[in-house]
Amino acid sequence: MTAPPADAHSFDALIVGAGFSGLYQLHCLRDRLGLRVQLLEAGDGVGGTWYWNRYPGARCDSESHSYAYYFSDELLQEWTWSERYPEQLEILRYLNHVTDRFDLRRDIRFGARVTAADYDAAANRWQVRTAAGERYDAKFLITAVGCLSAANIPDIPGLDQFAGAWHHTGRWPHQGVDFTGKRVGMIGTGSTGIQAAPVIAQTAAHLTVFQRTANYSIPARNAPLTEEFKRWAKENAAELRQVMHATPNGHPFAICDRSAHDVTPEERQAIYQAGWDKGGLQFRAAFRDLLIDKAANDTAADFIRQKIRDVVKDPATAAKLADIDHPFATKRPPIDTGYFETFNRENVTLVDVRAAPIECITRDGIETRDGIEHRLDIIVFATGFDAMTGPLLRMNIRGRDGLALREAWQAGPRTYLGLQAAGFPNLFTITGPGSPSVLCNMPVAIEQHVEWITACIADMRSHGFERIEPTPEAVDRWVAHVNEAANATLLPQAKHSWYLGANIPGKPRVFMPYPGGMARYRETCAAVAVNGYAGFVLSV
Ligand code: N01
């Protein structure tokens, strides 16, 4: 055995990240298995995504009664959400409540950004370093770093010359940003930009939205929850859990088992109208074939394009907003509160940067290729994330024989079940690439992963195993399966999607999340465990 460095803090398990995943993983390993665990968190508080994403309008688009832990009935009964979609601050309060309720804070090291993690094969331990120079080691290393936590700030020339202020939505100042009387430019029209624009426009003197890819959006129809609904959700928690575990996307509603071609155009219109009026992600559950049949998808896409033209009064602006080049829901479908209506405001302008790309940032604003300088006081980068692999790769993880994860994943992420990579023993990735993760209601995906990892470590301990890692063959088969599952859908047709890594220059184009459905994935993971962890090598 190699002794750990003298100044290292030694544990049974290290967890990186104090969001939904890391908090539950800490609870499971410490309180259920009795392990010595340290959670390392870069921020100064818990919350992960909800700690960093404090931009105006930040709100979850899973419904609140489903965007919660379901592992504890007591927790479910004692926490009451106030709105249909919880806003960022409310989720942050919830996660702080969970942290205190399960007494997790004492085992979290805040302000600890992991900058290196090396596997020491002789000792069978992970040696971890933080930006502050602290050293830790443990047998198990579990990354709970989220799929969307590495901010993507595009490399636009001239940003350093800009005289105004600029912020990325995923690194929003805790004290907030005052837009009053300011000329604001916002780059990006993904879920974030679509949430932020209506709120920014309320106080800014002027908001210029720089749109590269027009996007679909469904009204959220957010509202305070009625007392009756709050009671219903608590009384029916067990049934809701069952529904969420049975559906492909982990949401508390089933996908209708009918084709868009099974109904008349009039019936279809009425079905879409009902979905539009009800609001939310359930719109895409109207028909079972929206994500696999282009003609079926077109019916939904046309309905939404028409809605955009109905809502937006200026025909030229409406045309730009409705000029969507990918099938509906092949990029993550946003939901909104007054997004398209925002373009009817006098103080809001849409700039099409597909037609005239951003050339540079000047001292006074953003210059586009048509020679126009859009004069701005504040730039908001709603430009998304280096998704899924970004947060893992920036930790500089090295496995057996010094193999860098960055090298192992040079051509794209390669995992078995999104849980482990070959050559990286005892390293688990919660909602890693190759798992349903972002295609699922996240807490559902997270609970399944955390519980699987916990059961796996418990099994290893009871059978005297010290190491687990997947075989290269199991990884090959899983990667092929993820690709097949993606190719069976329309999802890869959105060529600029972050699901494919296409939003980051130079990133390999690989479909990263597993699109085979959460319910099927859950069964696969359970079967693997029951069959002696088939595809993994366990060693003493
Ligand atoms: O990021 P995005 P996001 N010049 O990558 C544009 C989750 N989320 O933060 O499409 C000009 O989707 C880019 O254009 P294009 C959710 O999973 C959840 O909005 O690449 N434009 C795009 O319009 C979501 O999917 C919630 O052509 C540039 C935008 O920036 C994920 O986070 C809320 C550009 C980025 O869109 C990411 O969403 C918010 C450039 N150089 C987010 N670079 C809730 O649950 C990028 N863009 C509530």
Asked if 12 and 28 touch (Cβ cutoff 8 Å), the reply is no
**pLDDT per position as a tens digit, 383-397:** 999 999 999 999 999
Span 107-123, average pLDDT: 98
pLDDT, residue 6, reads 55
Q: Is 435 in the pocket of ligand 1 (CB under 6 A)?
A: no
Residue 363 pLDDT greater than 80, yes or no: yes
Q: Mean pLDDT over all residues of the chain?
A: 97
Percentage of residues in the chain with pLDDT exceeding 70?
Answer: 99
Which residue has a Cα nearest atom 40 of ligand 1? 154
Q: Is the CB of 438 under 6 A from ligand 1?
A: yes
> Residue 364: what pLDDT?
98
Alpha carbon nearest to ligand 1 atom 11, residue: 212
Q: In the numeric block, which tokens belong to residue 413?
A: 């992420």
CB 192 near ligand 1, within 6 Å: yes
- Please answer whether residues 440 and 249 qualify as being in contact, where contact means their C-beta atoms are separated by less than 8 angstroms: yes
Q: How confident is the model at residue 493 (pLDDT cuts 50, 70, 90)?
A: very high
pLDDT tier, 5 (very low <50, low <70, confident <90, very high otherwise): low
User: In 10 A of CB 170, how many CB atoms?
Assistant: 23
> 183-226: per-residue pLDDT in tens?
999 999 999 999 999 999 999 999 999 999 999 999 999 999 99
Helix (H) or strand (E) holding 378: strand 378-381
Report the run of H or E that residue 398 belongs to, with start and end: strand 397-398
Is the entire prediction scored with pTM above 0.75? yes
Q: What percent of the chain has pLDDT over 90?
A: 98
473 alpha carbon – ligand 1 mean position (Å) = 34
Q: What are phi and psi of 229, to 5 degrees?
A: -65, -40
Over residues 470-479, mean pLDDT: 98
**Using a 6 Å cutoff on CB, does residue 351 contact ligand 1?**
no
Q: What is the reported pLDDT for 380?
A: 98
- What is the model's pLDDT at position 510? 94
Going by alpha carbons, the residue nearest to atom 37 of ligand 1 is: 384
For residue 98, report the phi and psi dihedrals to the nearest 5 degrees. -60, -45
Average pLDDT of 502-511? 94
pLDDT value of residue 2: 44
Give the pLDDT confidence of 164-175 residue by residue, as tens digits.
999 999 999 999
Residue 230, SS3 per DSSP: helix
Ligand 1 atom closest to Cα of 496?
20
Q: Residue 485 region, left (φ>0) first, then alpha (ψ -120 to 50), else beta?
A: alpha
What are phi and psi for residue 302, nearest 5 degrees?
Answer: -65, -40
**b (16+ CB within 10 A) / e for 23-50:** bbbbbbbbeeeebebbbbbbbebbbbbb
Residue 225 carries which DSSP code?
P
